[in-house]
Amino acid sequence: MTSQQPVLALDVGGTKLAAGVVTRDGTVQSFCRTETAVAEGPAAVVKRLLDLGEQAAAEAGLPLDRPPVSNGRPFAAIGVGCGGPLDPETGIILGPPGLPGWDSVPLGQLVAERFGLPTYVENDATAAALGEYRWGGWDVQNLVYLTVSTGFGGGIVADGKLFRGAARQGGELGHVVIDWQGRRCGCGARGCAEAYVSGTSIARRATEAAAAADSTLSGLVVTAKDVADHARAGDPVARAVWDETTAMLGRMVAVLINVSEPDLVVLGGGVTRSGAQLLEPVREAALRQAMPPAARACDVVLSRHGDAVGVLGAAAIAYERREES
């Protein structure tokens, strides 16, 4: 890998796809996004993702059909972040709850064949944890990243190293059970954090509640943003759902603080666009419920990277694994 070459980064989410060109210092030279449209099936989504990658490359002045560097490659590698479970060694996607029909999809192979470049696939939230550690500007050695988006997941950096675990699936934080008799999660278990704090769950719970009560949400095709907006405007149903969400997320963060004692917990993903409305109650609940020594050593913050956090994570994985190979 030459120091001058950027990487192409692709991010696959349950609601949106994103692509960007990222340099070694974390500068995002281009950024494109579009809807995932999972109902169209894996083949259509993968094609849309690959086309988006070509668009991002062209917008950065590095068109893939006109290599501008002497070795014939405009990029050092390609990084791909995708919801898990997945096999990061083979790049095969193994049926994520947020991507129905994605059973044994060889995403890494498909990307590599299209672009002819070394391709590295990682769980999107795990990748984002590394991106936050590498380029978040936090100056810490121990960090937990949580993505609060269509789904809910996370990753852990401990003593400056990304935690992966024996099966390289470690940091599957969305399926930590916080209510063992609770709501059914998309993974099949009951009471997972994802069943309460993901954007999908927030919308579903609000829709259920609004059907049984007088609410300004009644009759809407509800999104998590609607719940936040209507809660802020004083709707009692929306406020109850939002308060339950922040309480559950705060409890989840407290558990993670106790287990891993990070310097920092970083929240990212689409639901965090609500800003202080999400952050303040979550931070208060987490630091109040965590064990005092761990709580005193930690803070809870929002990612500074907005919608680009997934692309930066995929890029961080590409740099790390290319350097290791």
- Within a domain: residue 26? yes
The pLDDT of residue 305 is: 92
Task: Please give the structure tokens belonging to residue 49.
Answer: 């993702």
Q: Under 8 Å CB-to-CB from 267, ≥6 apart: which residues?
A: 146, 148, 278, 279, 282, 300, 301, 302, 303
On whether both 26 and 150 belong to a single domain, the answer is no
CA 114 to CA 31: how far, in whole Å? 20
Which domain range does residue 117 map to? 7-128+308-324
On whether both 149 and 264 belong to a single domain, the answer is yes
On whether both 17 and 161 belong to a single domain, the answer is no
The pLDDT of residue 324 is: 72
Bridge partners, 232 (sequence order)? none
- Within a domain: residue 133? no
Q: Under 8 Å CB-to-CB from 175, ≥6 apart: which residues?
A: 185, 187, 189, 192, 193, 194
The pLDDT of residue 98 is: 83
Q: What is the DSSP letter of 30?
A: E
- Within a domain: residue 1? no
Cα 301 to its chain centre, rounded Å, is 15
Question: Nearest-CA neighbor of 8 among 59, 71, 66, 69?
Answer: 59
What's the CATH code of the domain at 120?
3.30.420.40
Which residue shows structure tokens 């809660």? 231
- Within a domain: residue 2? no
On whether both 107 and 149 belong to a single domain, the answer is no
On whether both 314 and 215 belong to a single domain, the answer is no
Give the chain's domain count.
2
pTM above 0.75, yes or no: yes
On whether both 56 and 149 belong to a single domain, the answer is no
The pLDDT of residue 3 is: 55
Q: Is the peptide bond before 63 cis (omega within 30 degrees of 0)?
A: no
> Is 208:227 a contact under the CB 8 Å cutoff?
no
List Cα–Cα distances, 229 to 145, 209, 233, 240, 270, in angstroms.
25, 16, 6, 13, 14
CA 278 to CA 289: how far, in whole Å? 17
List Cα–Cα distances, 28 to 111, 201, 276, in angstroms.
20, 31, 26
Query: Inter-axis angle of helices 199-211 and 236-260, to 10 degrees?
Result: 150
> Is 193:175 a contact under the CB 8 Å cutoff?
yes
Q: What angle do CA 273, 277, 280 make, to 5 degrees?
A: 115
The torsion angles phi and psi of 191, rounded to 5 degrees, stand at: 80, 15
Question: Nearest-CA neighbor of 7 among 120, 162, 130, 147?
Answer: 120
Segments in the chain below pLDDT 50: 1-2, 67-70
